[in-house]
Amino acid sequence: MTRLFLYGTLKRGGVSHHLLAGQRFVGPARTQPAYRLHQLEGFPGMVAAAAGGRAVEGEVWEVDPECLARLDRWEGVGEGLYARAAVALQAPHERAAAEAYLYLRSVAGKKDLDGSFGPTAR
């Protein structure tokens, strides 16, 4: 099982959440303040921020290898749209390894979402 931090359309209530059918919801989570979240074209993109990072709100899920492969395809990992990478989370998840999909393309001119996206956004 892989622990994923999800911050966008895959979260509960999101338009892509159906892709997580049969997987285990661990709980709500926040990253360490080392990322930025941007509005793309109907979905968000999280990028690592060397300076000026913020905490991003999301959810932690445990997914099996079949689901992980499906999500990698959905997120365009093979096309260079996103990369799955380790992320640093805040308590109570700080000790468990987790990965998230980081956006790989330019976010220049894209709206900053101030750390939250979707139905559970502030």
pLDDT at 119: 55
Whose CA is closest to 83, among 63, 98, 103?
A: 103
Can you name the residues that pair with 99 across neighbouring β-strands?
4, 86
Domain ranges of the chain: 2-116
pLDDT at 76: 96
Number of other residues whose CB lies within 10 A of the CB of residue 28 = 13
> What's the topology of domain 2-116?
Hypothetical upf0131 protein ytfp (3.10.490)
pLDDT at 121: 43
Distance in angstroms (rounded) separating the CA atoms of residues 45 and 30: 15
**For residues 19 and 10, is the Cβ–Cβ distance under 8 A?**
yes
Give the helix/strand (H/E) hosting 45: strand 44-48
Radius of gyration from C-alpha coordinates of the chain:
13
Q: C-alpha 21: how far from its chain's center?
A: 17
Distance in angstroms (rounded) separating the CA atoms of residues 12 and 51: 30
Mean pLDDT by 10 residues, the chain (122 residues): 96 95 97 96 92 94 98 97 97 94 96 82 41
